[in-house]
Chain A
Amino acid sequence: MRTLFHLTAREVKSFFYSPIAYVMLVIFLALNGVAFYYAVQTLTKVPADESVVFVTFFSPFFVWPFILIMPLLTMRVFADEFRMGTIESLTTAPVKDWQVVMAKFLGALVFYIVLFIPTYCYFFFYKWLTGIPAAFAAGPYWGSALLLLLAGMFFISMGCLASALNREQINAAAMSLVMTVLFIFLAALPDFFVGKNEEETKWLTHFIGYISFFEHLPTFCRGIIDTRPIVFYLSLTALFLFITHHVFQARKWKS
């Protein structure tokens, strides 16, 4: 446990040692700011059923940075160790492989959470600045936070796998971007079958409904905590970390 803590601490620190981290923080913060600004603007112009949390997270100013940030978070975690050779000093210290994998994952997750802290403060700054409470309740606020945490865990575990499979950061980033985009836009798959026999594609729509991020997001942003996506994201995270662990161990058997 102590080893895991020190490994994770080093991972988190290494994020903050690189200037890219600060660029990411600023850009993510700014774009989320824009998303929040437009959400407030929209809600003041036209009355809507949805909360400001819902409208903010459904803005392209949120969704695109959210997708693009994932590869940047995880691309270097393993690839860099292999490229610099530090993997040798790391794995010849008395640490277990699973500890290394977990530390890489947790390190990226901590940075991911830090990325979101300012955004989640916006909702309160609004009231502080204008004196008017922002239009949201605790349900959407915490619901969206939970979903973003769960989905983040899943995408980070996917990114860790991509990084473990590649020696170059850029390849790791490309691989993880492709996987993230494919997964996120699964939701659009049923659209390709529009006009076809709806009975035939019903199962597909139904299935996509279970696994699509864009189906989960509105549910949680309305404050509905559905246990199915929770189980889904947790088990996929575990699966991807398991595969990452095996890929990481496989380095020994490659010649």
Chain B
Amino acid sequence: MISVKNLSKKYGSIAAVNDISFEVEKGEIVGFLGPNGAGKSTTMKMLTGYLPPTSGAASIAGFDVFEKSIEARRRLGYLPENTPLYLDMRVNEYLRYRAHLKGVPSGKVAEAVGEAIGLCSLSDVEKKMIGALSKGYRQRVGLADALVHDPELLILDEPTIGLDPNQIRSVRELIKNLAQRRTVLISTHILPEVEIMCSRVIVIHKGKIRASDTAENLLKNHRAAGQLRIEAKTGTEAREAFGRMTGVKDVQAEQDGEYSIFTLRLDANADVSEEVFRLAADRKWNVRELVRKRATLEDVFVELTHSDI
């Protein structure tokens, strides 16, 4: 659905996007992750034909976004960052206007707008001025606009930014519903969201792609794949004993009264919990807690993008 080849965008001597290539297959929901200024929005702007690339090419459904821009644009629904809208129009009027612009046949505009309003739960504010709506509603108007012409591809630039947790949840549900028969490229900072929604994650940092895989695989291959936490009454030798185990990268210790609390950082796929348990049993340490913590996508994200910030 999306094919990006060696795409670059330079502002003067600074490369906002530096020679990236990726593919998005039909039906995928791809999360586009990266810190602020990583090049996510720039890439999305190039895909939607808003910015021309400095070099490289991108196509949507086989149409080059630059050469065959109109054809490519017909097939995508785009929610720009910060959701720019005409504040002087009413919700239904705006959506009708957008439907017309996006080539929905005149006879089907009312139906398409009704459907978008229904999907985005906008029926109570349908006749309100957009300028009078809250941020959450505006975001939903933006989404309704993106999908009013029933595009094959949705490109959503931070659709949940600035929303409260309830709104985030409802927008997330909405996107999940939309994704059932569409391809979605979504950029966000909210990592649990990506884990829940996306079939694949592309991590971009400083204009380069750092990783592109399923969230599961990213976690598996993450260097600090897991942690083990033990709270026990131990002798002084415990720390060294843990450190000697294979797969343990390092051990941190702190004291809580009689108990010592150890945090073991583990290599990918390493699991030393049984070994730790046996050690504690042998030495008759009094264990009050033994917890295995899985790495989160946040850990992966930080590791992939933390370098030299």
Contact = CB atoms under 8 A, between A and B. Distances in A.
Given A88-B50, A92-B48, A6 B97 contact: yes
A255 B11 contact: yes
A85 B101 contact: no
A18 B88 contact: yes
Given A3-B101, A10-B97, A14-B86, A88 B80 contact: yes
Interface stretch (B31-39, B70-78, B201-209, B282-290): B70-78
A86 B84 contact: yes
11 contacts: A2-B106, A7-B101, A17-B89, A85-B80, A88-B50, A89-B80, A92-B50, A92-B78, A94-B71, A94-B73, A94-B101
Nearest to A255: B11
Interface of B: 10-12, 45, 48-52, 70-71, 73-74, 78, 80, 82, 84-89, 97-98, 100-103, 106, 145
A96 to B, nearest CB: 7
A168 to B, nearest CB: 17
A88 B84 contact: yes
Query: Most A CB atoms within 10 A — which of B10, B50, B102?
Result: B50
B155 to A, nearest CB: 9
A84 B10 CA distance: 24
Contact of A95 (B52, B80, B101): B101
B80 A92 contact: yes
Contacts of B97: 6, 9-10
A103 to B, nearest CB: 10
B73 A92 contact: yes
Contacts of A86: 84-86
B63 to A, nearest CB: 11
Contact of A17 (B48, B85, B88, B100): B88
Given A252-B51, A255-B12, A93 B98 contact: yes
Contact of A93 (B11, B73, B85, B86): B73
A85 B84 contact: yes
Query: Most A CB atoms within 10 A — which of B45, B50, B101?
Result: B101
A88 B82 CA distance: 11
A218 B133 CA distance: 52
Contacts of A84: 84, 86-87
Contacts of B49: 91-92
A253 interface: yes
A89 B97 CA distance: 12
Interface in A1-57: 2-3, 6-7, 9-10, 13-14, 17-18
Contacts of B84: 84-89
Question: Would you list the 7 A-B pairs with minimal beta carbon distance, nearest first?
Answer: A85-B84, A255-B11, A6-B100, A17-B88, A92-B48, A94-B73, A86-B84
Interface residues of A, number: 25
A3 B50 CA distance: 19
A89 B70 contact: no
B201 to A, nearest CB: 24
A13 B145 CA distance: 19
Contacts of B89: 13, 17
Given A85-B84, A252-B52, A253-B52, A93 B101 contact: yes
Nearest to B75: A94
Nearest to B82: A85
A6 B52 CA distance: 26
A95 B49 CA distance: 11
Interface in A53-89: 84-89
A29 B102 CA distance: 38
A91 B48 CA distance: 9
Given A85-B80, A85-B82, A255-B11, A93 B87 contact: no
A185 B106 CA distance: 48
Nearest to A10: B97
B103 A89 contact: no
Nearest to B106: A2
Contacts of B103: 3, 94
Contacts of A7: 101
A234 to B, nearest CB: 29
Nearest to A93: B101
B3 to A, nearest CB: 18
Nearest to B100: A6
A91 B84 CA distance: 12
Contacts of A95: 101
A91 B73 CA distance: 9
Query: Most A CB atoms within 10 A — which of B51, B78, B98, B100?
Result: B100
Nearest to B86: A86
A89 B85 contact: yes
A20 to B, nearest CB: 12
Nearest to A6: B100
B52 A91 contact: no
